[in-house]
Amino acid sequence: MTEVAYLDHAATTPARPEVRAAMAPFLDEVYGNPSGIHAVARRAKTALEEAREEIAEHLGCAPGEVVLTGGGTEADNLGVRGAARAARSGTGGTGGTVVVSAIEHKAVAEAAARVARAGGTVRTVRVGADGVIDLDHLGAVLDDTVVVVSVMCVNNETGIVQPLAAVAERVRAQAPRAVLHTDAVQAVAWLDPVVTTAPADLVAVSAHKFGGPKGVGALVVRDGTGLEPDLVGGGQERGRRSGTVDVAGAVGLAVALRVTAATRPVDVARIGRMRDRLAAGLATVPGVVPTGDRARAVAGSHHVRVEGVEAETLLVALDREGVCAAAGSSCASGASAPSHVLTAMGWSRRAAKEAVRFSLGHASTDADVDRALAVVPRAIARLRGAPVAAGARAGESG
């Protein structure tokens, strides 16, 4: 079997051993429905509420402000649409304005579009060639009709950190009715959400991006923030998200947050060094151009354009040689349209189709980088029909 270098941690990470061990009892002997009142149900409910307390601690909120969801996409939808609906109800049904950045995940952009179809308005904020939101343009589109502003913490394609505190300052000053939502799905592995997301009223996270299980997420809803549910019928999560709660998933999310918080300083330094070595090695390949302001990117992200080579073609070639990477968002893999993130940054359609995302995570090793530096330059040269550039493997370790 070919050795695999997995460089797609921004799409999903392997579950941490501590997470698997913690979840196991709730997939077997602790099987009760936490909404019940008998002893079996109470065991599940106790575990759920203990997990909720730990989730809240690591997200910087109160336990009652945590709404457990089926992942980041649901958390984004509930945050954007739920807040917009609540604002609309408070004004007798009139539509409000939702403001989003041009580089938001589709879960946010399409949720905003749904608000528009329901009678609201959407305004989109420009970003610069550096991949960072244009704060002056944000200020220009804010007014007292705005009810929701959504700006992500870390872009899922480029890995570039957005200035959330500065965004919040503009929103508070110029759109007094608005709540601030942030998609922090790509942030938790690299940045302390207690600090980073503190300015936001609504915060979406997803467990599988930092060593937790897939299909589990959370939305922080700060006290006093209006929210109308997407899912109704059972009244769980204080009426904000009906449906039987995944107890095992909640436990896994809590443990993933705990382990990530404990190991983050060491992991960020270690992974950052590996990312820098990967970047240095790929920089020796002609026509491999980093995207945006890489100084603002999180430690696990390296996003580049490979001039003259379509990303999908390159990714197939890399996969055959045991290197896993991605083009654009994992949710848009295989799509024929170019990345909306890159076109918002001013890239042409052709250039956007030549972009590749290499992302490292908690399970990454120096061997992964070694293999990538051995395979990627060779694959690029082969697809271009040219010899491998001298020094292309200079970043390999001995």
What are the residue numbers of the active site? 331
d(CA 321, CA 8): 15
Please provide the DSSP assignment of 56-78 as one string: HHHHTS-GGGEEEESSHHHHHHH
Query: Read out DSSP for 5-26?
Result: EE-BTTT--PPPHHHHHHHGGG
What does the alpha-carbon distance between residue 332 and residue 6 come to, in Å, rounded to a whole number?
A: 19
3-state secondary structure at position 145: coil
**Other C-beta atoms lying within 10 Å of the C-beta of residue 197:** 25
Position of tokens 């890239």?
A: 347
- Separation CA 175–CA 125 (nearest Å): 14
Measured over the CA atoms of residue 252, residue 254, residue 257 and residue 260, the dihedral's sign is negative
Q: Is 168 helix (H, G, I), strand (E, B) or coil?
A: helix
Nearest to 203 by CA among 7, 62, 390: 62
Distance CA 208, CA 185 (A): 9
Residue 225 CB partners (closer than 8 Å, separation 6+):
83, 179, 201, 202
